[in-house]
Structure 1
């Protein structure tokens, strides 16, 4: 179920909001560059500089209820982190830069379930309208992914693989991707209204 299906900054879910010291910001930037070497680190980090300029201070906003923290620039959440997992871009950022994460595609039948916050089942990825990376570009368990849908232009969710893509193909059934953040969830609406 989407982390942000019942998420509300207005309800007092914020446990802390802290301006991050420059030394800590450098560590966060380095972690993002390590985590996304094929997109953010390309061309000496030019894309990361565009998303989060070095001279701009980031705010770390923590929400206690779901154990989620955000890297926020001028009130706009850029990346979120669940517990100590990888940083994931918000969907707003993923729509601007769709190549930030590897992409998987579900068939048309899965769209309404994902938009209601459901996790992603193997059949939606393995049917004629679904798509997983080729074996040469296989993804490992826990990899964050952008979820697109058959016939749609923009991403509809950010997810995390519960199995590697080759294992998903072998299993053929069951929940295989955790839906972390989807179109229309409360994080999407918060970002659309101007941020945190």
Structure 2
């Protein structure tokens, strides 16, 4: 699936403020940036920060991209998976409870979470939590996080 660019415009301060509040703790990605643009594309639009795709709009909801997570220190909610889960995560699989070794306190269903690996702490995916952080670690079966963007997908390979 290729990403087709339609148009590119600068965002107004009001729209930037709205997206920052949607992103919650990931809103810092838009702090004091010089150029914030929207790149309208099919199937998903991007928010470019200084020319880099830092935020993706999926189903009209803003998510940080993995490139943004790697380029910035993000203080968002994190879910740590064991090394055996990495192969599945990088193929786009949803995150299952048995593969989770740790989850930040305060994760609630519907929260945007960053999936990181156990050894290096590097971001592997961005998703939406389906259960609380406590349940992710305690449960020994079932889905815990719905994956929205992962290393190696079209978003990861997207170049402006």
TM-score, with length taken from structure 1: 0.70
Structure 1 gaps of 5+ residues are 1-5
Q: Quick one: distance in 2 between partners of 1:34 and 1:172?
A: 32
Which protein has greater RCO, CA pairs closer than 8 Å, 6+ apart? 1
Q: What is the CA distance between 1:145 and its match in structure 2?
A: 1.0
Query: Please, what is the CA RMSD of the aligned residues?
Result: 2.5
Check the 8 A contact 2:98/2:139 in 1, yes or no. no
Q: Which has the larger radius of gyration?
A: 1
- Which secondary structure state, in structure 2, belongs to the residue aligned with residue 186 of structure 1? coil
Check the 8 A contact 2:23/2:63 in 1, yes or no. no
Compare the two structures and name the one with the higher helix fraction.
1
- Which secondary structure state, in structure 2, belongs to the residue aligned with residue 140 of structure 1? coil
> CA 1:152/1:169 → structure 2, altered by over 3 Å: closer, same or farther?
closer
Give the equivalent residue in structure 2 for 1:89.
64
Structure 2 gaps of 5+ residues are none
Q: What is the CA distance between 1:37 and its match in structure 2?
A: 4.7
Equivalences, count? 160
Structure 1 residues 1-196: aligned runs within 5 Å = 6=1, 8-9=2-3, 13-14=4-5, 16-22=6-12, 25-33=13-21, 35-37=23-25, 40=28, 48-49=31-32, 52-53=33-34, 56=35, 58-65=36-43, 68-85=44-61, 87-125=62-100, 130-133=101-104, 137-169=105-137, 171-190=139-158, 195-196=159-160
Q: What is the CA distance between 1:169 and its match in structure 2?
A: 4.5
> CA 1:64/1:39 → structure 2, altered by over 3 Å: closer, same or farther?
closer
